[in-house]
Chains A and B, each alone.
Chain A
């Protein structure tokens, strides 16, 4: 479809052309493995270390605190399972929030099967974790707290600095899943008291299949992928040099352009929120009105099924999402929305619009023009909507 509008940037992003350009020579000209002793191998090693430095700078970590992985899921596995296994003599208790990404909930289930204890801290109506609630769940066996930097569905940004400080004061390690936040919030592991952090490449317009775990000094994990001992034994497997070079370039671009980008996004986001809430009756905003990602507008329209919305948008060549990328496959209502206090049927009525680097002003116009008509039509057909 030509002139397609894409407002589903939280789910997946294109690779920035500048990132692709940077990757190209590593596919066809300099394709050796860093472990090789010949010059081509040395070039790969240099590229690997230069990339590590760029990613480290992006989050204000030291170079040797960056471990490249195959993506955020692997980073999160390495961070949480790896840390719990490595430190199980010190304690067996993990705290996560109710609104974590599905993969963290599944890791928690897995750890419980292995005999670890997991507590889930609830969130307020905006999806925020409160320290008082966290406090109540800490025991002398708690060794790790894992709270997302920002929510991948409703875009709520947590007070990470405060949570990190809370954990560190108590000698508890703090991991944050920063996948939704990276590129939209300036991340600084030093300032934010983060000990372990998972990031992905695609979420900053780099290629898929690459991610990183930021592991601060003194915080150690057991490897998940074992073999040739790459990444200081913490992540074996031939390094995906084109991917890693791409991620580093993406981080570099993001670092220099994020301020402008976020300013631009914010204006569009606020316009979306303002106009949708004023034009469409019985529309609600999910997530926090201000402490939210600049890219994220998440609505609920009474009496309108998210799936139906998605299909209607699809007919108009507009790509949107009903909620979490991972949970939309199962058709289960979003656990995040349920955690913020919505009923099952309310959670189904959601629409997520997410702005990205290649969004244009016209895209926002198009969506704002299409939305009232689509919602109106769907409500006409709805047996349950008794709108005013």
Chain B
């Protein structure tokens, strides 16, 4: 039994709950003025301490952190908020086809409103081409929105170079770090990024709370109207228990955690390479998130693998979490050039601090026997392996060129 779907959502750490409880039960005021009553003061202190902790995790000033309801809102605010605030400077946006839906849909909405959106190509690993980025930049380009790392295939983009290019041209650079936050180091003193979206629930914090880092002097307008909360950028009574839980999740993240997660992934990769055939790792072999393993298993549907493993107590995912109930092929796997019949066999395993190598041992056993069983029944398999000669070609290296 194990939960390997941490890139989708993760278990809230008990210490996070402990930190949140007083803010649910006792310090439940609003973050009003310091001259407010005691509950308001306690709430304000909790909120501002949380902001400080989160700012420190990026080596940023607390005033650059705006709390939101999650990454979807952070992405909406970052993209629509900056484009609308800078519309007098231009109407061109550059992004990639492998962004998360909230980025893609925000760009699509702007496109419908008359803005122009250019999509960078990505290679077989999902990496963008910096030369192409340079060539797409125009005088009226106002925003580049590129994810730090991909949530399906784990590939990490060359964000240092992207930020440099954006800075040279005076273009705002937004980075969706929902998958990489606290897994890959981000230091805003070194990385000249303008906006970073991230949230709590993938790092053992609560759902319903996220943040947007906004570098000072970045022009941005709010997308929700209301009161003056969050320096007028995000109205609504602050979710203080959420913010406090978020900060606690950051605080308890040990510096060597990514290393541990990487060791789990390496262990899984090795086990799988010894036991499984006819599969391919998706995403970049090295430039990838430490905790995220992804592959396509040939001749089988990822959904079938998922359902069988689920019955054995292993929670994994196929395709993107957001689109996996639609059964549409993954837009990421499509963009890296995988045909639908192959991308349907996608499997993603994502680790957390609560996972162990013992869990991986059990998982690999179940995975291998599941794949074997499914291949026996698969019509796709029959056509290939049990050809007319009646010989079992199970271990033939077929159609290598397809990869």
A40 CA to B5 CA, complexed, in Å: 10
User: Mask for A322-340, Cβ within 8 A of B = 1, else 0?
Assistant: 0001101110000000000
The residue in B69, B303, B325 that gathers the most chain A C-beta atoms within 10 A of its C-beta is B69
Bin chain B's interface residue count.
35 or more
Residue A210 is within 8 A (CB to CB) of chain B in the complex: yes
A102 touching B102 in the complex, CB below 8 Å, given contacts A31-B10, A35-B322, A238-B207 = no
Residue B272 is within 8 A (CB to CB) of chain A in the complex: no
A144 CA to B21 CA, complexed, in Å: 41
Partner of A28, one of B12, B33, B310: B12
Residues on the A chain within 8 Å of B24, using CB: 14-15, 20, 207
A81 CA to B223 CA, complexed, in Å: 11
Min Cβ gap B82→A in Å is 16
User: Mask for A29-61, Cβ within 8 A of B = 1, else 0?
Assistant: 101110111111100000000000000000000
Task: Evaluate contact between A38 and B310: CB separation under 8 angstroms.
Answer: yes
Partner of A102, one of B16, B103, B227, B307: B227
Task: Evaluate contact between B226 and A27: CB separation under 8 angstroms.
Answer: no
User: Mask for B15-31, Cβ within 8 A of A = 1, else 0?
Assistant: 01100010011101110
Task: Evaluate contact between B315 and A36: CB separation under 8 angstroms.
Answer: yes
A144 CA to B295 CA, complexed, in Å: 51
- The A-contacting residues of B in range 322-337, CB under 8 angstroms, are 322-325
Residue A289 is within 8 A (CB to CB) of chain B in the complex: no
A36 touching B8 in the complex, CB below 8 Å, given contacts A28-B17, A228-B72 = yes
User: Mask for A13-30, Cβ within 8 A of B = 1, else 0?
Assistant: 111010010001001110
A72 CA to B33 CA, complexed, in Å: 21
Task: Evaluate contact between B106 and A226: CB separation under 8 angstroms.
Answer: yes
Residues on the A chain within 8 Å of B17, using CB: 24, 27-28
A70 CA to B77 CA, complexed, in Å: 14
Residues on the B chain within 8 Å of A8, using CB: 29, 37, 39
Min Cβ gap A16→B in Å is 9
A76 CA to B81 CA, complexed, in Å: 19
Residue B62 is within 8 A (CB to CB) of chain A in the complex: no
A237 touching B102 in the complex, CB below 8 Å, given contacts A27-B17, A38-B310 = yes
Task: Evaluate contact between B238 and A37: CB separation under 8 angstroms.
Answer: no
A36 CA to B29 CA, complexed, in Å: 35
A311 touching B315 in the complex, CB below 8 Å, given contacts A242-B207, A326-B227 = no
Task: Evaluate contact between A74 and B322: CB separation under 8 angstroms.
Answer: no
Residue B237 is within 8 A (CB to CB) of chain A in the complex: yes
Residue B241 is within 8 A (CB to CB) of chain A in the complex: yes
User: Mask for A101-116, Cβ within 8 A of B = 1, else 0?
Assistant: 0110011011000000
A229 CA to B324 CA, complexed, in Å: 12
Who on chain A is nearest to B313 by CB?
A39
Residues on the A chain within 8 Å of B325, using CB: 35, 37
Min Cβ gap A177→B in Å is 11
Task: Evaluate contact between A37 and B318: CB separation under 8 angstroms.
Answer: yes
Partner of B317, one of A37, A77, A325: A37
Residue B140 is within 8 A (CB to CB) of chain A in the complex: no
Partner of B102, one of A11, A12, A28, A236: A236
The residue in B101, B201, B207 that gathers the most chain A C-beta atoms within 10 A of its C-beta is B207
Residue A243 is within 8 A (CB to CB) of chain B in the complex: yes
User: Mask for B223-250, Cβ within 8 A of A = 1, else 0?
Assistant: 1111110000001111111100000000
Residue B162 is within 8 A (CB to CB) of chain A in the complex: no
Partner of A227, one of B11, B29, B101: B101
Residues on the B chain within 8 Å of A225, using CB: 69, 72-73, 76, 102
Task: Evaluate contact between A228 and B12: CB separation under 8 angstroms.
Answer: no
A330 CA to B228 CA, complexed, in Å: 9
Residue A314 is within 8 A (CB to CB) of chain B in the complex: yes
Q: Identify the 8 closest CB pairs spanning chains A and B, nearest first.
A: A227-B102, A240-B208, A103-B226, A70-B69, A237-B72, A209-B239, A73-B236, A228-B322
23 pairs, CB–CB < 8 Å, chain A vs chain B: A14-B26, A15-B241, A24-B17, A31-B10, A31-B11, A31-B12, A33-B9, A35-B322, A36-B315, A70-B70, A71-B69, A72-B237, A76-B226, A106-B226, A207-B24, A209-B241, A228-B102, A237-B72, A243-B207, A319-B29, A319-B40, A320-B37, A325-B237
Taking A208-B238, A229-B101 as given, write out 12 further A-B residue pairs in contact, using a Cβ cutoff of 8 Å, ordered by the A residue number.
A36-B324, A38-B316, A73-B224, A74-B236, A207-B24, A208-B239, A225-B72, A230-B322, A242-B206, A242-B208, A311-B35, A318-B37
